[in-house]
Amino acid sequence: MLTLGVEEEYLLLDPATGTPVARAAQVRRAADLQPALADGEVQRELLQAQLEIATPVCHAPEEIGGHLRRMRHALGRAAAQDGCVLAACASAPFTDRLPVPVTDTVRYRSMHGDAPRLTDEQLICGMHVHLGIPDRSTGVTLLNALRPWLPLLVALAANSPLSQGADTGFASWRTVVFGRWAVSGMPPSFEDATDYDRRTRSLVENRLIPDTGQIYWHIRLSERYPTVEIRAMDVQLRADEAVLLAATVRALAARLLTPAAAGPSTAAIPPETLDAALWHSARHGCAAEVFDPLQGGLRPVRDAFATLVDFTAAAGEDGVQIGSGLERILREGNGAARQLGELRRGGREGLTGMIVDQTVAGGDRPR
């Protein structure tokens, strides 16, 4: 079975206003004193109101869940000690007039110099799933095979409906914002690992991007680890939702790497169809029809989820977990739906409280 690792990005918010606060360095120092956090598990991000965590290599989704709950709870305590709160929302729902400063590194200063407005608007947070692979050839096989499933993953994971105090009209505004970078969005298909390496190196050699770290496709081969990295999903409000997504990605990958994957072909889906399906998922999330890669068109959300459950059923326990998790999403809504619902009910204060409660150990907010 493929190994798993998850990275999550978080925002630091003012508990009274819900706006981002530039306290990442201070919270990292406080996190260093948390015995539940190991060295290197909390990392800086592009803006000073963001932090990232990375789990160890895991062999089961339950391991991912244990690490995420541990790290969210401990990092939430560190944030509280510094007078702010940890928020697993994929876009900042409220902002001040002034932009959050960029983190003071050579790389991040260079990115801001190249694209200042775009960098200032990167108050967005994602969830990245790393799947261990035996070689880069297998990674490219997975990249190609997972592409048609990305719209469904984006719809399921949508958790960024708000920006600058307003409803954006998109369930995943993060997908739209992040798609403005030069090499981003739906990846192309590749013939093999040699083709992948040649084409990605060409982008750097032609000075179109400074390095391969700025390849922001929704799936890419990791340059640091023997993994394929799936980056399409918004960070999730609850840790159990992150576990569901990790299990879903691994179950899809396991099925796609077996002869049992034979059936309706997704290889012939035109790239423009996948691009449009991805935009549709970012726009509507789970509130409308969703692109079904096996049927090749839009279908009711429940039907598309049934396709996903059936396709991953051979993945054993992961498949069982996916079915129960999707039923909960259908009952309660994904993060985008719950954010909008809470904003209508409880206003700004209620929404900020809900985000923080659901971020830290499923509602156990540190005090």
- Please write the tens of the pLDDT for every residue from 191-240: 999 999 999 999 999 999 999 999 999 999 998 899 999 999 999 999 99
* Range 97-123 average pLDDT: 95
Band (pLDDT 50/70/90 cuts) for residue 361 is low
Please tell me the predicted confidence (pLDDT) of residue 367: 39
The three-state DSSP-derived secondary structure of the chain is CCCEEEEEEEEEECCCCCCECCCHHHHHHHHHCCCCCCCCCEEECCECCEEEEECCCECCHHHHHHHHHHHHHHHHHHHHHCCCEEECCCECCCCCCCCCCECCCHHHHHHHHHCHHHHHCCCECEEEEEEECCCHHHHHHHHHHHHHHHHHHHHHHCCECEECCEECCCCEHHHHHHCCCCCEECCCCCCCHHHHHHHHHHHHHCCCCCCHHHCEECEEECCCCCEEEEEEEECCCCHHHHHHHHHHHHHHHHHHCCHHHCCCCCCCCCHHHHHHHHHHHHHHCCCCCEEECCCCEEECHHHHHHHHHHHCHHHCHHHHHHHHHHHHHHHHCCHHHHHHHHHHHHHHHHHHHHHHHHHCHHHCCCC
Instruction: Judge whether residue 188 has pLDDT over 80.
Output: yes
Distance CA 106, CA 297 (A): 45
Instruction: Judge whether residue 189 has pLDDT over 70.
Output: yes
pTM: 0.95
Please tell me the predicted confidence (pLDDT) of residue 356: 97
- The widest CA-to-CA distance across the chain, in whole angstroms, is 55
Of residues 40 and 80, more confidence is placed in 80
**43: number of Cβ within 10 Å:** 14
Domain 4-355 maps to which CATH number in 3.30.590.20, 3.40.50.2000, 3.30.420.40, 1.10.240.10?
Answer: 3.30.590.20
* Range 177-185 average pLDDT: 96
Please tell me the predicted confidence (pLDDT) of residue 364: 45
Band (pLDDT 50/70/90 cuts) for residue 265 is low
* Range 138-156 average pLDDT: 97
Band (pLDDT 50/70/90 cuts) for residue 362 is low
**161: number of Cβ within 10 Å:** 29
Band (pLDDT 50/70/90 cuts) for residue 363 is very low
Give residue for tokens 């790393």.
130
φ/ψ (deg, to 5) at 290: -130, 145
- Kindly report, residue by residue over 33-70, the tens digit of the pLDDT: 999 999 889 999 999 999 999 999 999 999 999 999 99
Amino acid residing at 148: P
- Kindly report, residue by residue over 310-323, the tens digit of the pLDDT: 999 876 656 667 98
* Range 260-284 average pLDDT: 83
Instruction: Judge whether residue 262 has pLDDT over 70.
Output: no
Instruction: Judge whether residue 86 has pLDDT over 70.
Output: yes
Please tell me the predicted confidence (pLDDT) of residue 266: 65
Of residues 324 and 277, more confidence is placed in 277
Distance CA 8, CA 328 (A): 22
* Range 332-345 average pLDDT: 97
Distance CA 190, CA 210 (A): 22
Percent of the chain at pLDDT > 90 equals 88
**343: number of Cβ within 10 Å:** 19
Give residue for tokens 């007078």.
83
Residue 123 has which token pair? 């108050």
Cα 341 to Cα 268, 270, 325, 350, distances in angstroms: 39, 36, 20, 10
Of residues 45 and 266, more confidence is placed in 45
